Amino acid sequence: MRVEELFEQALKGDTLSISRLISYIEYPSREGTWLLSRLLKRAGKAHVIGITGSPGSGKSTLISRLIEAYRKRGERVAVVAVDPSSPFTQGALMGDRIRMQKFATDPGVFIRSFATRGERGGISTAALLTVEAFDGLGYNRILLETVGVGQVDVDIMHAAHTILVLTAPGTGDEIQALKAGLMEIGDIYVVNKADRPGATETLKQLEFAIEGGIFKSRSGWKPVALKVSAALGEGVDELVKVIDEHIDYITKNSIAWQRVEERRIHALKSMVLWLIEARLEDLLKKPENSKLIEGIVKGDIPVYTAAVKLLEMI
């Protein structure tokens, strides 16, 4: 199929065409560049929810509940789920779909999994470009799931309108809630698995961290903390209500479009970094640089000096 025709079919909602379109975009290609240039002009209307939290905090299960809620409203929902690639083999095992498979046959839901392919920060360039694609194709609700993150994997803050940070009971004391990084980026903090002991305590620790903050959030919105049991479906209605309130807030304060701008700048930066890294790996293997590498390993050349030299070659 010609790429122009593929684009037309994807706009009409043909699943195979959408799927092949994303495949063109997720690796650099002429077709992907052409498609993106068309899609970007149409994008910017969707509401993107970022869902982040440590491994096993229940992100996929919560997403399944959110899909349910938005489908009841008749919205088209796209899910972009990111899982880690192996630093050894570059392979990946992506299991986010497991919790969402009941929507596999729903034509109003499109779920796509991505491996990080060596990128850090919790999301990937390919995932960001796919968000643009879904947005351009008219999906009004996009759920972007990060890998199971650590305290500094905060790139989702540049990619989503509304950020949900998930925690679970028993994952640390009040100091953990006060630490910089992940615990600063949430618009909404979700204590998931609230059916387990210790949930109320964890909620109180989060509320303390929010109340005491001078820095409210990136948009001035005062973060909200609440308890949810995604597995049992408890607290989901309230969460959806708070998400709606956050959308109202960013819309009224003209922040919604700023988020799209930020997402695009971030996509640009992460792609440049990715290209630089690939180029750097190349340079390190080149025979003409072997003396430089030898000097570094033996300690004869300071790292700063070698770094500046390599940077000039990039």
Partner 1 sequence: MDRSSDILEQRVLPPIKRRIKVLVAKLGLDGHDRGAKVVARALRDAGMEVVYTGIRQTPEQVVNAALQEDVDVVGISILSGAHMALVPRVLELLREKGLDDVAVVVGGIIPGDDIPKLKAMGVKEVFIPGTPLNAIVDFIRRNVAAKRGDQSEG
> Which residues of this chain interact with partner 1, rule CB under 8 A?
3-4, 15-16, 19-20, 22-23, 27-31, 33-34, 37, 85-86, 89-95, 97-99, 101, 104-105, 110-113, 115, 117, 275, 278-279, 281-282
Rounded to whole angstroms, the Cα distance separating 156 from 262 reads: 11
Taking the chain, what is the end-to-end CA distance rounded to the nearest angstrom? 37
Contacts of residue 79, Cβ cutoff 8 Å, sequence gap at least 6: 63, 67, 96, 100, 109, 110, 111, 112, 142, 143, 144, 145
Rounded to whole angstroms, the Cα distance separating 173 from 51 reads: 22
Residue 115: CB minimum distance to partner 1, A:
5
Rounded to whole angstroms, the Cα distance separating 193 from 167 reads: 9
Cβ distance to partner 1 smaller for residue 42 or 97: 97
Rounded to whole angstroms, the Cα distance separating 57 from 123 reads: 17
CB-based contact 32:25 (threshold 8 Å): yes
Residue 89: CB minimum distance to partner 1, A:
5
Cβ distance to partner 1 smaller for residue 101 or 305: 101
Please choose, from the candidates 34, 46, 74, the residue with its C-alpha nearest in 3D space to the C-alpha of residue 160: 46
Rounded to whole angstroms, the Cα distance separating 294 from 283 reads: 14
The HSE-up count of residue 296 (CA atoms within 13 Å, CB side) is 14
Helix (H) or strand (E) holding 112, with range, is strand 109-115
Q: DSSP readout, 37-73?
A: HHHHHH-S-SEEEEEEESTTSSHHHHHHHHHHHHHHT
Cβ distance to partner 1 smaller for residue 19 or 290: 19
Cβ distance to partner 1 smaller for residue 92 or 301: 92
Residue 26: CB minimum distance to partner 1, A:
9
Residue 178: CB minimum distance to partner 1, A:
37
Residue 91: CB minimum distance to partner 1, A:
4
Residue 95: CB minimum distance to partner 1, A:
5
Residue 283: CB minimum distance to partner 1, A:
11
Cβ distance to partner 1 smaller for residue 19 or 151: 19
Cβ distance to partner 1 smaller for residue 30 or 72: 30
Cβ distance to partner 1 smaller for residue 126 or 177: 126
